[in-house]
Amino acid sequence: MDEVYRLNYQGLEDLELLAKIGDQDRDALSTLYDRYGRRVFALAVRILNDPVGSEEVTQDVFMSVWRRGATYTTKKGKFTTWLFSIAHNRTIDELRKRRRDRSRLNDNIEDHYDLKSGDISPADAAVAQSEYAKIRAAMEGLPEEQKNVVELSYFKGLTQTEIAEKTGQPLGTVKTRMRLALKKLRKALSAEMGAQV
Amino acid sequence: MTDSRDTTETNDGMDPRFENLAGYVLGALENDDERDFVEALIESDSEAHAEFTELAEAADLLAVAVPPVAPPVRLKSAIMDQIAREAAPMPIRSTVEVAPTPSSTPFWAAIIRSGFASSAVAAVLVIVVAGVLGYQNNQLGNEVDSLRAELNAESAVVANIQNELMATVSESETKVASMKTEMETMETEVGVTTEMVVHQEEMVSKLAIENAALQQAMAEQRWLNYVAMREEYQVTSWLASTQQTTSGSVIDASGLIAVRYVGNEAVFQAHGLAQPQPDFAYTLWLLGNGAPQPVASFEVSEIGSATVAFLLPAPFQFYSSVAVTQERVDRVGDDPTGITFLSADTN
């Protein structure tokens, strides 16, 4: 019975699950976690380089979805945009906090996890690998300066001003490069991947 | 290998208001104020919202670009446990009187097992549970409403600040325009004043010239007296002006007649006379000894001076007066008919 119930949830769209979360449906959140938990966790690990800290971040992200799911509207963009935005902001906050107090040392990620395999099924891994390869290719196609500002901001958590200081570029140039990089990335991938992420 | 020279890296076409949208989706803004501003912009401006959507979807791709990593199984359990704790109903005292049971069995299970559970008790139980769930839903709903209200209030504050800034800019522009107008007016006034100064300087210059001419004339008069005595002439008459200006003052013109001690030679000298009208000339008359006698017709210099030598028809003392009139050049008759400009008695 429980298995049938779960299978039915897996057939629901993100927004339908979100509506159920608004009704305090825990199975809906469980389904969303199964769908996106790996990506949220991976993003946190990529930025923090700390699996333990990434667990805390991932837990916070899905608790935010649980508490704020009812406030989501399509005005905030696609559901994945909203979710990854929460995940990224939470992770960057943690990264900046760590930079400030330097109280925690990053662990060696390889000591805890096998990042290549984990619990991901071979089919999921293949799909993910395919998407990853396309996006990495698109990233590699960006001019070096644009790729650099994206790396420093999105994955290293530097602010626009910090990037300008680090690279010696005017702040306006940094802003323009960020915008152009995102636009080129989207253009390069929209044809191959469609609107779905 | 990528070409680092990107010729499209200019800010062409980008609305300056949107300059922080990319930084927002990449999490690279400096502080909450910047983030609040961008969120208010996205909320209120459809173009900004469209730009944000495009950039945010690209940022999604960055998240997807990270190879998935399987989190530990315990993580999901931890999340679901926390949710369960938060979702646990608040303890509510039942209004149904239930006999206390010595065991730790939940009271509702005890009721069911006790055999006293009637349909009425079951109905009350359902109502209580429903009430608890309703209460929680209401609480969540209130929280959501509160968050929305806060968001709306913050958006309103941002909108107010924007309006105030626009009003300040508009006011400044009006002031600048007003100052420009004032400056232009002042420049015009300065121009008029400059013209007046130039005109006054011209007047002063003209008066100075006239004054110099007058002083020269007076000097000449004194000199003529001297010359008259040295040349055995005697000044016999000082002629004064008989004409008035339009303002009523006497025109400052004068003249003299000097007669030689021996013989009938005489000299007439005048100052301050205006140029005669066209076809007219000044005429010197000797009067009071029979018919008026025109003894000289003369012109004046640029400064109104004239010196004329003439012969007396009779001894000067025979005449009672002298006069200078303007007569037509072609009609100098026996009697003066024109306007008298200078005159004097000979006594």
User: ipTM of the predicted structure?
Assistant: 0.80
Poorest-confidence range of A104-108, B18-22, B278-282?
Answer: A104-108
Query: What mean pLDDT do residues B135-148 have?
Result: 78
B30 touches chain A (CB under 8 A): yes
Interface test with chain A among B2, B39, B53, B62, by most A beta carbons within 10 Å: B62
Residue-level pLDDT at B12: 52
Query: Which residues of chain B make contact with A129, given a CB cutoff of 8 A?
Result: 67
Residue-level pLDDT at B89: 57
Dist CA B311 CA B230 (whole Å)? 19
Dist CA A60 CA A55 (whole Å)? 9
Interface test with chain A among B20, B69, B148, by most A beta carbons within 10 Å: B69
Poorest-confidence range of A123-127, B23-27, B46-50?
Answer: A123-127
Average pLDDT, chain A: 81
When comparing pLDDT for B120 and B142, which is higher? B142
Point out which residues pair with B283 in neighbouring strands: B297, B325
Residue-level pLDDT at B257: 92
Dist CA B312 CA B293 (whole Å)? 10
pTM reported for the whole predicted model: 0.47
**Residue in B102, B122, B123 with CA at minimum distance from that of residue B111:** B122
When comparing pLDDT for A106 and A169, which is higher? A169
Query: What mean pLDDT do residues A71-77 have?
Result: 79
B150-176 confidence digits (pLDDT tens): 888 888 888 888 888 888 888 888 888
For β-strands B306-311 and B321-328, DSSP reports them as unpaired
CB nearest B65 (choices: A120, A136, A180)? A136
Flag whether pLDDT at B180 surpasses 70.
yes
Flag whether pLDDT at A89 surpasses 70.
yes
Residue-level pLDDT at B127: 62
Flag whether pLDDT at B93 surpasses 50.
no
A8 CA to chain B: closest CA distance, Å? 19
What tokens does B317 get?
Answer: 């003392």
The letter for the amino acid at B237 is: S
Dist CA A14 CA A27 (whole Å)? 13
Point out which residues pair with B240 in neighbouring strands: B254, B343
The letter for the amino acid at A60 is: D
**Residue in B236, B300, B239, B304 with CA at minimum distance from that of residue B265:** B236
Residue-level pLDDT at B201: 85
Contact between B37 and A104 (Cβ < 8 Å) = no
Dist CA B163 CA B169 (whole Å)? 10
Dist CA A19 CA A54 (whole Å)? 27
Q: How large is the C-alpha radius of gyration of chain B?
A: 60
Query: What mean pLDDT do residues A178-197 have?
Result: 74
Does the distance separating the beta carbons of A38 and B69 come in below 8 Å?
Answer: yes
Contact between B327 and B279 (Cβ < 8 Å) = no
A132 touches chain B (CB under 8 A): yes
Residue-level pLDDT at B116: 40
Contact between B288 and B319 (Cβ < 8 Å) = yes
Point out which residues pair with B234 in neighbouring strands: B259
Residue B168, burial from CB neighbour count under 10 angstroms (0-12, 13-18, 19+): exposed
Residue B28: CB atoms within 10 Å: 27
Dist CA B112 CA B241 (whole Å)? 146
Average pLDDT, chain B: 78
3-state SS, residue B45: coil
B96 touches chain A (CB under 8 A): no
Dist CA B135 CA B62 (whole Å)? 41
Flag whether pLDDT at B87 surpasses 90.
no
- Distances from the Cα of B168 to the Cαs of A26, B33, B164, B165, B171, in angstroms? 52, 21, 6, 5, 5
Residue-level pLDDT at B103: 38
Q: What is the dihedral of CA B137, B141, B142, B143, to 10 degrees?
A: 100
- Distances from the Cα of A131 to the Cαs of A36, A82, A127, A145, A180, in angstroms? 15, 20, 6, 24, 22
pLDDT category of residue A90 using cuts at 50, 70 and 90: very high
Query: What mean pLDDT do residues B134-148 have?
Result: 78
A126 touches chain B (CB under 8 A): no
Strands annotated E in chain B: 233-241, 254-260, 265-271, 280-287, 293-298, 306-311, 321-328, 340-345
Q: How large is the C-alpha radius of gyration of chain A?
A: 18
Interface test with chain A among B32, B38, B51, B64, by most A beta carbons within 10 Å: B64
3-state SS, residue A63: helix
A100-153 confidence digits (pLDDT tens): 876 445 444 333 333 343 455 555 556 666 667 777 788 888 899 999 999 899
Q: What are phi and psi of A118, to 5 degrees?
A: 60, -145
Residue-level pLDDT at B91: 46
Residue-level pLDDT at A196: 43
What tokens does B343 get?
Answer: 């005159």
Chain-centroid distance of CA B209 in Å reads 43
Cα dihedral across residues B152, A178, A35, A108: positive or negative: negative
Flag whether pLDDT at B310 surpasses 60.
yes
CB pairs under 8 A between A and B: 214
